[in-house]
Structures are given as structure tokens and as C-alpha cells.
Amino acid sequence: MGIFRFSPTRVSTLPVMPPDTKKCNGAVPRVPPTSAPTEAIAGPPPATTTPATTAAPAPSHVPLPVCNGTHLPQPHPTPNKRSIHDYYFGKTLGEGSFSTVWLVRDIHTKKDYALKQCDKAHILRERKTESIKREKQVLNILSETGAPFCVKLYCTFQDPEKLFFVITYAKNGELLAHINRNKRLSVDCARFYAAELVVALEHLRRVNVIHRDLKPENILLDENMHVLVTDFGCAKIVHRPQSGTDSDDESARSRRNSFVGTAQYISPELLTDKNASFSSDLWALGCIIYQMLTGQPPFQSRSEYLIFQKIQKLEYEFPDNFDPTAEDLIRKLLVLNPTERLGASDEEGYPSIRSHPFFTNTPWNTLASTPPPTLFSDPTHRPAHNDNWVTSDMKPGLDNSQLSRILGLDQGQAPVEPPAPRPQAPPQQAVARRKKSYVQDLTEAEIQRRLALQKAENKW
């Protein structure tokens, strides 16, 4: 998989290089690539045997090869490279078309993280290489600039088949799950979380990033029930000023061929082959506020095509007794013309949104330290968290035995080792059982079947 030059992120706090490494004059990642292609690693020439009479004294130190200005060649493996063996693996937190997100614990720091594992073969097959690189770039930007209410990237690494992102673990899961559990949120609660989203969007705009897939599934809640925006796989880095023509280095053709987003939250300009803009995220904000207060997104139908038709015609309605200030805010965000949405004409931040009556008395400057309003209709219903999920017999990494243990965790069972194979079972039967137990042995057809079944059974 030589196409992936996927070096660990610059925000990693791991040691940079061995003490005897020579200084490089070019731009070098802080941590060397975990599995860079062999052609990018130029070691010293092999030693040759010479007669004893002419042999020169062996040097006490073999110098590193010349730096090429981009990658730092190293003749020997660096001991500080990260791998899956630096983490205990817990339950799966989510799954996508080519990625799985795991709960992991660092064996060195004992801290919990979310580890996103991406399949290289699928990325290449679906031509998602640039998307993955852009996601890493966005996460680096957000981590380096201290983006409020967004997940942070701690390190990245790879093996021959997978790419790995180690990011913030949000202990309280997706906002969508809490909306569904409570049917809808109180006005105070919706106001608080909408305010945190506004602050997050202000920072994204400041660093020229459009999320493009903002929705309750991509809004997580941390251990203190504060917002963490995640999943920047569809994000876009733009160059100002935006205009009617391309606002970045993507052509109109690539824009047409890279339709992104989720049907219920997609902004109308993206349905007519126009540029995504910061205002596209403001449209999604309006949809999310509506859903927090009603339990459902504003635009719904039995097919994506019909949903798109409703979006373009602005066909949605408010239920009886809907909060009037919230209704006014939503109407000013769900505007067909992106330049006319509330906040779109603000030069810095979104003061016009902050000053809207819906956000009266919002503690904008102390949101991060302000306890959120209670989210649960039943205070005793708050989910319990098991911080002691790593047991003494667990091993780091993700081999077959660990996958079997995790399968039990995902099904709500106690973590147990897989049973020993029965001696009387023919070899082919043992293989069949293994294919049912181990995630990596599933065929593409079986994965698609399970995803289709999950989609059919999940009403959301």
C-alpha cells in the first residue's frame, strides 16, 4: 500500500526521534511514518568483507542518510512508533462504510480514546485517498488551534492494511441517542447545546473549515455532557474570499462528483450543484435545533429524492405550542438563499446569531465551564459508565482472541475467551464457526447484508 504516506500527526506528544539523529533542514513530520514504503527508507549500504590487511577501523556510529526535505529516512525501526499493540481494545463505538471506531485504552497513560480504523483496500477501491488525507489535515488544524467543542486528534499510525486515528473519546455518546431516548429536549437544553454548536462553527469558520455533514449523529457528548463535534470525513478546507466560482482548489467537475452530506440536513444549494459555504453548516444548525425540540428532522419522507424535493420547496411545519423564539431562529436559518441566512453576512464569528432572542441570557464566555441543563427526563436514567473495563487477563492489540472477546462485549455479554474447538468437529466446520465469530472474516456480501438489515430495523 505504498500510496499511503501516513505519518503520525504533529500533535502527538511522543518522542520525535532518537538522540543521535542528525538534524534535517527540510519540513519533517514530528513522528516518522509508521509503515512508509520501502522505497522511501534509504538505509546505509550493506557492509562488505575486505582483507584484514586493508580493513579500516569500524566507525563507532553509522550516519543517517541525507534528508530529502519531506520524509526523514531511517535505517532502523524507531522504538517510539505507535501501533495497535499500544492499546487495549474495548467495545465498538461505531461503524462506517470503510471504518470502525473502537474504545481503546493507552497501555502507557491508562487514558481512554476513540480509535478510528480505516481499511486501506476499501479506501483505494472507492478512491477515498484524498478524503482521508483531508480529514487528517482538518483534525490537525482543529487540534493545533484548540478548537472548542470539537474532538481532538492525538496521533495517527498505520500497518500494511489499516490506517488508525486516535481521537477524543466522548463518554456519553451521540446527541441523537439522547434525543431519541427523551423524545425531545427541553428548550433550555436545546438552547445550551445550540450555543455550543454556534461556538464550534465560529471556530471552524475562523480556520476556513466547512463540516458539510453536521447532524445529531456527528455531535457527541463528553463526560461532562458538553458538545464534541466529530466526523470530519466530509469536511472541506476553503480559501477566502468565497464567490460564485470555485472557492478552493476543487473544480466544478469534482464538486459534482463528490456530493456529500446526509439527506435530512443537506442544504439546498448543494442540491443545485453550487458551492458549499460556511452558510451550509448554518442550514444544518437550523435542522438540528428543530430536531432537538421536536425529536424529528424538519424534512422527512420515504425516499431521499422526496426529501430533496421538500428541501428545495422549503416544505416543513412547526408543531403546536412550539417555542416562538426558537421558531423565529429556525426560520432565519432555513433560508433557501445561503447569503440570506442569519449569520451569513457576519464578518467575524456569528454575532447576529448570538444576539437572537432565543439565546437571551446565554453565558457565551463561560459555556465550557457551565454545567449543562439536565438532559434526562428521568434523572435516574443516566447511563452508567464502566471505567474499569480493562481486566487483568486482557492483552493489547486486536488479534482473533480479542475480537471474540469484543464480540461478546458488543452483544452485552461478559468478556470471555472464545471456547476451545471441539475435537470431533471436522476442519471445515471449525472454519465455518470461525467465520461467524470473527469480524475480519466476514465477506463483503455479508457485511452489506448486515448493514441493510440494520438500516431496515433502525427507524432513525
Catalytic site residues?
213
Provide the grid cell at 420: 476451545
For residues 124 and 3, the answer to whether their CB atoms sit within 8 Å is yes
Q: Is 91 annotated as a binding-site member?
A: no
Q: What is the DSSP letter of 207?
A: T
Asked if omega into 241 is within 30° of 0 (cis), the reply is yes
Q: What SS3 string covers 395-449?
A: CCCCCHHHHHHHHHHHCCCCCCCCCCCCCCCCHHHHHHHHHHHCHHHCCHHHHHH
Provide the grid cell at 194: 445550540
Q: How far apart are CA 106 and CA 168, in angstroms?
A: 12
User: 31: which residues sit within 8 A by CB, 6+ positions away?
Assistant: 7, 8, 9, 10, 12, 14, 16, 80, 81, 82, 155
Q: How far apart are CA 160 and CA 302, in angstroms?
A: 42
Q: How far apart are CA 245 and CA 51, in angstroms?
A: 71
113 — phi, psi (to 5°)? -140, 170
What type of residue is 120? K
Q: How far apart are CA 403 and CA 41, in angstroms?
A: 33
Q: Residues of 377-414 as b/e, b for ≥16 C-beta within 10 angstroms? A: eeeeeeeeeeeeebeeebebebeeebbbbbbbbeeeee
The number of angstroms, rounded, from the C-alpha of 86 to the middle of its chain's C-alpha atoms is: 20
Strand (E) or helix (H) holding 106? strand 99-106
118 — phi, psi (to 5°)? -115, 135
Q: Which of 335, 166, 136, 351 is nearest to 237 (CA)?
A: 136
Annotated binding site: 116
Q: Which segments are annotated as binding site for ATP?
A: 116
